[in-house]
Amino acid sequence: MAVVSTETPAAPIADRIPSERTHHGDTVIDEYAWLAAKDNPATIAHLTAENDYTEAVTAPLAALRETLFVETKDRTQETDLSVPARKGGYWYYTRTVEGQQYGIHCRRPVAEDETEPPATGDGAPLDGEEILLDGNALAQGQDFFALGTFDVSPDGNWLAYSTDFAGDERFTLRVKDLRTGEVLADEVPDTFYGSAWSGDGSTLFYLTVDEAWRPNQVWRHTVGAAAADDDVVYQEDDERFWVGVELTRSEKFIVIEAHSKVTSEVRVIPASNPTGEPAVIAPRRQGVEYSIEHHGHRFLILHNDGAEDFALAYTSADNPGDWVPMIEHTPGTRLESVDAFANHLVVSLRSEGLTGLRVLTTGSTDAYDIDFPEPIYSVGLDANPEYQTSTVRLRYTSLVTPDSVYDYDLVTRTMVLRKQKPVLGGFDPAAYEQHRDWALADDGTRVPISLVCRAGTPRDGSAPCVLYGYGSYEASMDPWFSIPRLSLLDRGVVFAVAHVRGGGELGRHWYDQGKMLAKKNTFTDFVAVARHLVKSDWTTADKLVARGASAGGLLMGAVANLAPEAFAGIVAQVPFVDALNSILDPSLPLTVTEWEEWGNPLADPEVYAYMKSYTPYENVAPVSYPAILAVTSLNDTRVLYHEPAKWIARLRAVAPEGSYLLKTEMGAGHGGPSGRYDSWREEAFITAWMLDRFGLSH
């Protein structure tokens, strides 16, 4: 394949000036800093040239990409319908239609004496259906479309929804009268995710962001009034804190939560008095996190005050004060959330690397955990809008079990499968096998691994393997089912997830051991897993491709520098590879709020030196790197496009013998293409590239 130039000769040299920064006596020249100027014609020309180069290099894979796309499409029931969830007098659900990119949000009145959700059948519209919002109609003529808020008022009369047509996660909020179908004139630009209705549906609470894309203000809007008349209910001035707003399931309180990475504070407004002043449940204390749920005469408090893996308590809803214990702290059992229903509580937790659900009956000491059959799985509550119910909806999946929706009776302790995601083409879960394995890190820590492969895949090192990782923000990469992944498994590829430190799989300590000045554990854990897979004959280094996204993209860049010989290829999606420069700039989105995750290199020379020692962009060296594919989006507000653009440019300059590709979505955000077919094509592109690394492209 002839090398296609990625230079931008038409751009004036003045548009490509390096920058110089000095911190803590350390001066650094950044020769590709000019790529951060999004409005610089040289930047757009560079990204366009990179896209042209990537397309030229991967052109021989075009037929394989189309084959993979068709395989995903043929396995997917394109016309489908979610299991309806009851709220008041309606069943709410979403439909998809063959050939259409986006979901259609609908509802249907509950028939007299109807207690079971309507059958979804072949995905056809339900009798009596009312379309609330059609994403395809909204997206018509747009290259990108995403919903931020979708919120029906308690009385069912109003719909608050917000749209983004650029991918920058800045949404325009609108209100629709569901009785007439009219969209009101009172729209609000530049809003954030999240909203809450007052009890009578007269007032809508919403969020806006500051210049650093931090949600910092809660606004109150009277339906039918001009947006200019809206007033700020709460403003958070501490730049470490984000703000959220929601209505409790009981519909009794508007909840305003301010939270940093390690501290939180909650305020409430009675939903019956939306013009009231927010009342603090408990003043913030550095290092104490708590969240609330309303339940009758009390607020439930999930907190970590003296409880590393969190405990559950309650306080009076009329006069919040002392926290009375309900579930004591148990090291190793991480309590993640609590959902309150009229006569029951359901606690979502994780223990020994697996998710779980614990049920408590009001007025009783009776508590029990729901059992699930597989050795590796993910379970959690699904949509449960009703407070007065004895049945909860949950979602279950594993590496071999498609997404499954169950209704669980909290009284009889019985479970009914409502729907399992259809997988067409004769899919048989028994044709695949999943495993839990453990690697030993350099410091002796056991690191869990989840694996799935085609049944009978040889354990002699001959199988290719994709190793996925993330390892930040206490986010757990719990086992999930994927239709596109079947195209890998059916070609003999093993798929593995490295549950490295920095995630939350094994509790809060697992997170704490992979952040701040312990961040390198995330990277060395991943390398330990890669070497364990080779030692255990799952694969060999020349058949192992690593993959990660966002903070997982930082992981990819770090392990490329740390152990380039351990991988045949690396896929880094929207990768946070220029972490030090970003965290040094408090004007960038997310930076100040991130200092409690990574440390503050501006103020602390130890943090600066530590981050500089692992940040991928800072540590590119003249070594033999594995093939690298970086995928990014021009309008990403979470990890800016220029991070992978700079990284690839420096790799080419410092280690020119390697194969490096950059693919930039010129009209998308952090999540990539928004339409489902576009997303399938993006996944087919990445999968084809990985198969080519394995020698399986023909």
* Gyration radius from the chain CA atoms: 25
* pLDDT > 70 fraction of the chain, expressed in percent and rounded: 98
* Position 459 pLDDT exceeds 90: yes
Tens digit of pLDDT for each residue in 16-41?
Answer: 778 899 999 999 999 999 999 999 99
Distance from C-alpha of 87 to C-alpha of 384, rounded to nearest angstrom: 8
Tens digit of pLDDT for each residue in 640-681?
Answer: 999 999 999 999 999 999 999 999 998 777 777 888 999 999
Instruction: Delimit the domains of the chain by residue range.
Output: 13-73+426-693, 321-421
- DSSP-assigned letters across all residues of 312-380: EEEEESSS--SPEEEE---TTEEEEEEEE-SSEEEEEEEETTEEEEEEEETTS--EEEPP-SSSS-EEE
Sign, Cα dihedral of 511, 517, 518, 520: positive
* Position 230 pLDDT exceeds 80: yes
Mean pLDDT over 439-465 rounds to: 97
- Measured in residues, the chain has a length of 698
Beta pairing, strands 298-303 & 344-351 = unpaired
How high does pLDDT run on average in the chain? 94
In contact, 461 and 540? CB cutoff 8 Å:
yes
What is the per-residue pLDDT for 121? 77
Give this prediction's pTM: 0.94
Tokens, residue 105: 């949000």
* Position 5 pLDDT exceeds 50: no
Active site residues: 550, 636, 670
15 confidence band (pLDDT: 50, 70, 90): low
Tens digit of pLDDT for each residue in 172-204?
Answer: 999 999 999 999 998 999 999 999 999 999 999
Q: Which residues contact 533 (CB under 8 A, 6 or more apart)?
A: 439, 449, 465, 467, 494, 496, 539, 544
Mean pLDDT over 451-461 rounds to: 96
Distance from C-alpha of 429 to C-alpha of 399, rounded to nearest angstrom: 9
Mean pLDDT over 136-158 rounds to: 95
Distance from C-alpha of 21 to C-alpha of 581, rounded to nearest angstrom: 9
Mean pLDDT over 258-285 rounds to: 97
What is the per-residue pLDDT for 2? 34
Mean pLDDT over 242-248 rounds to: 97
| H runs (alpha helix) in 537-621 | 551-562, 579-583, 591-598, 605-614
What is the per-residue pLDDT for 364? 76
12 confidence band (pLDDT: 50, 70, 90): very low
Distance from C-alpha of 696 to C-alpha of 698, rounded to nearest angstrom: 6
Name all contacts of 174-180 with Cβ < 8 Å and 24+ positions apart. Answer: 175/204, 175/223, 176/132, 176/133, 178/130, 178/132, 178/152
The CATH superfamily holding the domain 13-73+426-693 is: Alpha/Beta hydrolase fold, catalytic domain (3.40.50.1820)
Sign, Cα dihedral of 547, 550, 555, 557: positive
Tens digit of pLDDT for each residue in 411-446?
Answer: 999 999 999 999 999 999 999 999 999 999 999 999
* Position 698 pLDDT exceeds 90: no
Mean pLDDT over 588-600 rounds to: 89
What is the per-residue pLDDT for 668? 75
Distance from C-alpha of 485 to C-alpha of 398, rounded to nearest angstrom: 13
Q: Which residues contact 42 (CB under 8 A, 6 or more apart)?
A: 8, 11, 12, 15, 16, 34
